Amino acid sequence: MCELFALSSERPANATFSLGVFGERGGRLGPHKDGWGVAFKEGRDFRLIKEAAPASDSACLRFVESQEFRSEIVLSHIRLASVPRVNSYTNTHP
Protein backbone atom coordinates (compact mmCIF):
# COMPACT_ATOMS: atom_id res chain seq x y z
CA MET A 1 0.00 0.00 0.00
CA CYS A 2 1.32 3.43 -0.89
CA GLU A 3 1.20 6.51 1.33
CA LEU A 4 0.00 10.02 0.52
CA PHE A 5 0.66 13.45 2.00
CA ALA A 6 -1.74 16.26 1.13
CA LEU A 7 -1.91 19.91 2.10
CA SER A 8 -4.74 22.29 1.33
CA SER A 9 -4.57 25.85 2.63
CA GLU A 10 -6.45 29.09 2.10
CA ARG A 11 -3.09 30.89 1.76
CA PRO A 12 0.24 29.63 0.46
CA ALA A 13 1.92 27.55 3.16
CA ASN A 14 5.47 26.24 3.51
CA ALA A 15 5.31 22.45 3.11
CA THR A 16 9.04 21.70 3.04
CA PHE A 17 9.27 20.42 6.64
CA SER A 18 6.32 18.06 6.22
CA LEU A 19 7.58 16.94 2.83
CA GLY A 20 11.01 16.17 4.30
CA VAL A 21 9.55 14.07 7.13
CA PHE A 22 7.26 12.29 4.65
CA GLY A 23 10.20 11.65 2.32
CA GLU A 24 12.11 9.86 5.09
CA ARG A 25 9.26 7.31 5.19
CA GLY A 26 10.11 6.58 1.56
CA GLY A 27 12.91 4.10 2.22
CA ARG A 28 14.64 5.08 5.45
CA LEU A 29 11.86 4.99 8.09
CA GLY A 30 9.39 2.91 6.09
CA PRO A 31 9.22 0.31 3.33
CA HIS A 32 7.96 2.68 0.60
CA LYS A 33 11.18 2.74 -1.44
CA ASP A 34 9.85 2.13 -4.95
CA GLY A 35 9.34 5.72 -6.08
CA TRP A 36 7.95 9.07 -5.03
CA GLY A 37 6.31 12.13 -6.47
CA VAL A 38 5.07 15.58 -5.50
CA ALA A 39 2.71 17.96 -7.26
CA PHE A 40 2.06 21.50 -6.09
CA LYS A 41 0.29 24.62 -7.25
CA GLU A 42 2.59 27.46 -8.25
CA GLY A 43 0.69 30.57 -9.28
CA ARG A 44 -1.79 29.45 -11.93
CA ASP A 45 0.25 26.35 -12.84
CA PHE A 46 1.00 23.00 -11.24
CA ARG A 47 4.47 21.50 -10.96
CA LEU A 48 5.06 17.75 -10.98
CA ILE A 49 8.30 16.13 -9.84
CA LYS A 50 8.72 12.37 -9.49
CA GLU A 51 11.33 9.59 -9.53
CA ALA A 52 11.36 5.80 -9.56
CA ALA A 53 13.81 5.76 -6.63
CA PRO A 54 13.59 5.98 -2.82
CA ALA A 55 12.52 9.42 -1.61
CA SER A 56 14.84 9.12 1.38
CA ASP A 57 17.89 8.91 -0.93
CA SER A 58 16.76 11.48 -3.48
CA ALA A 59 18.96 14.49 -4.25
CA CYS A 60 16.04 15.79 -6.31
CA LEU A 61 13.72 15.77 -3.27
CA ARG A 62 16.43 17.48 -1.17
CA PHE A 63 16.62 20.19 -3.85
CA VAL A 64 12.83 20.68 -3.78
CA GLU A 65 12.99 20.99 0.03
CA SER A 66 15.82 23.54 -0.20
CA GLN A 67 13.64 25.83 -2.33
CA GLU A 68 11.21 26.31 0.60
CA PHE A 69 8.32 26.66 -1.83
CA ARG A 70 4.93 27.88 -0.65
CA SER A 71 1.66 26.58 -2.07
CA GLU A 72 -2.05 26.33 -1.36
CA ILE A 73 -2.15 22.74 -2.67
CA VAL A 74 0.48 20.01 -2.28
CA LEU A 75 0.05 16.29 -3.00
CA SER A 76 2.86 13.81 -2.48
CA HIS A 77 3.09 10.04 -2.86
CA ILE A 78 5.59 7.39 -1.78
CA ARG A 79 5.30 4.04 -3.49
CA LEU A 80 5.53 0.44 -2.31
CA ALA A 81 5.42 -1.69 -5.46
CA SER A 82 3.25 -4.78 -5.70
CA VAL A 83 4.65 -8.18 -6.56
CA PRO A 84 6.19 -8.49 -9.07
CA ARG A 85 8.09 -5.34 -8.11
CA VAL A 86 8.33 -2.98 -11.06
CA ASN A 87 10.13 0.30 -10.44
CA SER A 88 9.50 2.67 -13.29
CA TYR A 89 8.82 6.34 -13.84
CA THR A 90 5.42 5.43 -15.31
CA ASN A 91 4.38 3.77 -12.05
CA THR A 92 5.23 6.75 -9.84
CA HIS A 93 2.57 9.25 -8.86
CA PRO A 94 0.89 11.70 -8.39
Give catalytic status of residue 60 as yes or no. Answer: no
**Burial of 43 by CB count in 10 Å (0-12 exposed, 13-18 middle, 19+ buried)?**
exposed
- Sheet hosting strand 70-78, strand order edge to edge: 3-14, 70-78, 36-42, 45-51
> One of 1, 2, 75, 92 is an active-site residue; which one?
2
Residues in the chain: 94
Q: Which residues are catalytic?
A: 2
